[in-house]
């Protein structure tokens, strides 16, 4: 499984350059959220995507890994599905951090 996961994560990293175009065509709202989050963190979208993959790999809890595993089972493009899941997770983290920061409470 680890070799397969490594292959999928590698595919996700390689997919990051085309991901922005693909996402803009399929889910423009999510693409806009991604661009805004990347800009807010002072990075380009491709860098944000790479950070999302790295952060998910390091910090995502077991439940999120289980959801990712389920999503990959039926996917025709596991790299893109993996990247979409990890970006969604990272955007949720960014939103939670912003929400806590504006409310003055720790995340």
Asked whether residue 105 is assigned to any structural domain, the reply reads no
The mean predicted confidence, pLDDT, of the chain is 82
The answer to whether 90 touches 54, Cβ cutoff 8 Å, is no
Listed in sequence order, the DSSP H helices in the chain are 2-26, 28-40, 45-59, 62-73, 78-103
Asked whether residue 56 is assigned to any structural domain, the reply reads yes
- φ and ψ at 40, to 5 degrees? -65, -30
- pLDDT for the residue 1: 43
pLDDT in tens, 51-60: 888 899 899 9
pLDDT in tens, 61-89: 999 999 998 988 888 887 778 888 999 99
Asked whether residue 38 is assigned to any structural domain, the reply reads yes
Instruction: Report the candidate in 18, 53, 48 with the shortest Cα–Cα distance to residue 33.
Output: 48
Structural domains counted in the chain: 1
Which pTM does this prediction carry?
0.76
Rounded Cα–Cα distance for residues 100 and 26 (Å): 30
């Amino acid at each position: 499984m680890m070799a397969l996961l490594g292959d999928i994560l590698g595919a996700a990293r390689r997919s990051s350059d085309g991901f922005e175009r693909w996402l803009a065509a399929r889910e423009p709202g999510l693409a806009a959220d991604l661009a805004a989050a990347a800009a807010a963190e002072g990075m380009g979208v491709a860098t944000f995507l790479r950070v999302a993959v790295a952060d998910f790999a390091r910090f995502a809890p077991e439940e999120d890994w289980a959801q990712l595993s389920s999503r990959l089972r039926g996917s025709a493009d596991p790299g893109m599905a993996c990247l979409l899941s990890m970006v969604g997770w990272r955007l949720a983290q960014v939103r939670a951090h912003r929400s806590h920061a504006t409310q003055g409470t720790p995340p």
